[in-house]
Amino acid sequence: MIQIQQIPVLQDNYIYLIHETESGETAVVDPAVAEPVLTTLAENNWQLTYILNTHHHADHIGGNRALKAATQCRIIGSKADAKRIPEIDIALQNNETITLGKYTLKMIECSGHTLGHIAFYLPEANALFCGDTLFSMGCGRLFEGSAKQMWQSLNTFKQLPLDTLIYCAHEYSLANAKFALTIEPNNTQLINTVEQFSQLRANKLPTVPTSLHQELATNPFLRANSAEIRSTLNLQAATELEVFTELRKRKDVF
Three-state SS string over 10-57 comes to CCCEEEEEEEECCCCCEEEECCCCCHHHHHHHHHHCCCCCEEECCCCC
Query: What is the C-alpha separation between 171 and 136, in angstroms, rounded?
Result: 8
> Which range touches Zn ion (CB under 5 A), out of 6-14, 67-75, 130-138, 238-246?
130-138
Rule CB under 5 A: say whether 57 interacts with Zn ion: yes
Q: Which residues contact 87 (CB under 8 A, 6 or more apart)?
A: 64, 65, 68, 75
Pick from Zn ion, Fe ion, none: which does 171 bind, CB < 5 to 8 A by kind?
none
- Pick from 47, 1, 2, 8: nearest CA to 208: 8
**Which of the residues 1 through 60 are near Fe ion (CB under 5 A)?**
59
Task: CB nearer to Zn ion: give 144 or 228.
Answer: 144
Task: CB nearer to Fe ion: give 13 or 26.
Answer: 13
Site string for Zn ion, 17-56 (x = CB under 5 A): ----------------------------------------
**Which of the residues 83 through 142 are near Fe ion (CB under 5 A)?**
132
Contact 98, 16 (CB under 8 A): no
Rule CB under 5 A: say whether 171 interacts with Zn ion: no
Given the rule CB under 5 A, which residues bind Zn ion?
57, 132
Given the rule CB under 5 A, which residues bind Fe ion?
59, 132
